[in-house]
């Protein structure tokens, strides 16, 4: 990457499906990173790599910390070393069981709903210039993507449980579904690399709106939400990152802060092709264990030429583990190996009851408001 390049979302970065984010990760436009700043992470990390190269002769070779390069080995590592700075990198796959289909798949209701707009590519609705010209297609999709009463998955609650155990440093997410927040993971622990709909911002006056406001509006008769300030009436856009917009400043700052201290990296539900998000997997120390839980192989050198690409299944691998399957099943298996299964089930039950209670209160309030 050179200094003239802008870092925006590329490739599959808008896997905006919930099958596959005071919110510090969903910033107003004036808080977004200038284009030049988007290269800061890469420049700082490259400079760090150069310093490491200069001192390479003095540095000991990394050693294998895992008892075995298996999920059992990861569980034993956690049990025996009690790592306090576990970092997660998560993508669309952790939200698969929440039930919203991939909007790009032909034959789905979401895809069919977009056909009337004659889009060359469904992802055009996430282009900021297209949105400014015609926001209606985006909100047609958003109405289906962000329904009321949405519940986090087992995988989300596993991350919350890691936090409750005092072991979570950060959860970096590509998802915009806000399920990390809904699961109760602390806001300071979540970095939504592509923003989220946890908050929204008026494109006219900059007024902020919360999750309840935008979700309620998406379920009303009016499709495109407009600002309620007098003399404004600007379009209110969820604080997700569109193509053509810079990533949040906090993503870069957190990556620089967290990579050196991370003592276990767990990657779930992402194919690791979206930059600069995927770069995070390379930046932890060379002896830090990395666990990938995913339906398919990801992060290998056939797609990623970096020397720090994941090396599971290769000769000389000392730290990388690949568990193939759904994220929910992988998280449940790891929780079981850790002896946390009962804790996880209790957390899910308690949180689902809480969410159902809140949803009931909101429905009752809405009915009261609509009564004559």
- Name the CATH code of domain 66-100+153-194+246-372 (choices 3.40.1440.10, 3.30.420.140, 3.40.50.1220, 2.60.40.1580): 3.40.50.1220
Is-contact 137 127, C-beta < 8 A? no
DSSP state of 238: E
Q: Helix, strand, coil: what percent of the chain each, to 5?
A: 45, 15, 45
Average pLDDT over residues 229-240: 92
Distant-in-sequence, close-in-space partners of 313: CB < 8 Å, separation ≥ 6: 322
The order of strands in the sheet holding 236-240 is: 208-210, 195-202, 236-240
* Three-state secondary structure call for residue 124: helix
**Higher pLDDT among residues 325 and 141, named by residue:** 325
Under the banding of pLDDT at 50, 70 and 90, the label for residue 96 is confident
The pLDDT value recorded for residue 3 is 37
The yes-or-no answer on residue 194 being catalytic is: yes
User: Any idea where the domains of the chain sit in the sequence?
Assistant: 66-100+153-194+246-372
**Higher pLDDT among residues 352 and 111, named by residue:** 352
The pLDDT value recorded for residue 200 is 94
Q: In sequence order, what E strands does the chain have?
A: 86-90, 168-173, 190-192, 195-202, 208-210, 236-240, 264-268, 290-294, 320-324
Rounded CA-CA distance 193/344 in Å is 26
**Higher pLDDT among residues 64 and 104, named by residue:** 64
Q: Using one digit for the tens of pLDDT, what is the confidence trace for 68-84?
A: 999 999 999 999 999 99
pTM over 0.75: yes
Indicate left, alpha or beta for 171 from its phi (over 0: left) and psi (-120 to 50: alpha). beta
The order of strands in the sheet holding 290-294 is: 190-192, 168-173, 86-90, 264-268, 290-294, 320-324
Average pLDDT, the chain: 81
Find the helix or strand (DSSP H, E) in which 109 lies: helix 109-114
Distant-in-sequence, close-in-space partners of 17: CB < 8 Å, separation ≥ 6: 92, 95, 100, 101, 102, 103, 145
| Catalytic option among 156, 194, 217, 282 | 194
Check pLDDT > 70 for residue 253. Answer: yes
**Higher pLDDT among residues 323 and 371, named by residue:** 323
Average pLDDT over residues 105-119: 67
Of 28, 36, 49, the residue nearest 6 (C-alpha): 36
């Amino acid at each position: 990457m050179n200094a003239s390049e802008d870092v925006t979302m590329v490739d599959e970065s808008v896997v905006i499906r919930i099958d596959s984010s005071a919110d510090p990760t969903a910033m107003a436009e004036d808080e977004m990173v200038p284009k030049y700043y988007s290269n800061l992470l890469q420049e700082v990390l490259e400079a760090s790599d150069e310093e490491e190269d200069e001192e390479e002769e003095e540095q000991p070779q990394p050693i294998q910390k895992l008892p075995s390069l298996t999920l059992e080995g990861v569980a034993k590592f956690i049990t025996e070393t009690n790592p306090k700075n576990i970092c997660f990198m998560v993508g669309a796959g952790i939200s698969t069981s929440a039930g919203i289909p991939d909007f790009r798949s032909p034959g789905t209701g979401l895809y069919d709903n977009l056909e009337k707009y004659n889009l060359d590519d469904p992802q055009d609705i996430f282009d900021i210039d297209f949105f400014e010209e015609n926001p209606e297609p985006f909100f047609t999709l958003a109405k289906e993507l962000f329904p009321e009463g949405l519940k986090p998955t087992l995988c989300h609650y596993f991350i919350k449980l890691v936090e409750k155990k005092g072991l979570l440093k950060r959860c970096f997410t590509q998802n915009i579904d806000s399920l990390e927040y809904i699961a109760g993971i602390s806001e300071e622990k979540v970095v939504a690399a592509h923003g989220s709909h946890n908050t929204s911002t008026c494109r006219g006056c900059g007024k902020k709106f919360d999750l309840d406001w935008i979700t309620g509006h998406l379920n009303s008769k009016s499709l495109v939400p407009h600002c309620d300030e007098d003399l404004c009436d600007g379009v209110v856009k969820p604080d997700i990152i569109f193509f053509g917009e810079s990533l949040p400043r906090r993503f870069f700052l957190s990556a620089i802060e967290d990579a050196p201290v991370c003592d276990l990296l767990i990657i779930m539900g992402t194919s690791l092709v979206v930059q600069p998000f995927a770069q995070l997997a390379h930046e932890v120390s060379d002896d830090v264990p990395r666990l990938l839980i995913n339906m398919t192989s990801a992060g290998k050198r056939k797609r990623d030429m970096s020397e720090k690409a994941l090396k599971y299944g290769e000769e000389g691998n000392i730290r990388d583990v690949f568990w193939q399957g759904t994220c929910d099943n992988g998280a449940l298996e790891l929780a079981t190996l850790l002896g946390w299964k009962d804790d996880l089930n209790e957390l899910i039950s308690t949180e689902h009851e809480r969410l159902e209670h809140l949803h009931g209160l909101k429905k009752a309030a809405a009915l009261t408001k609509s009564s004559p």
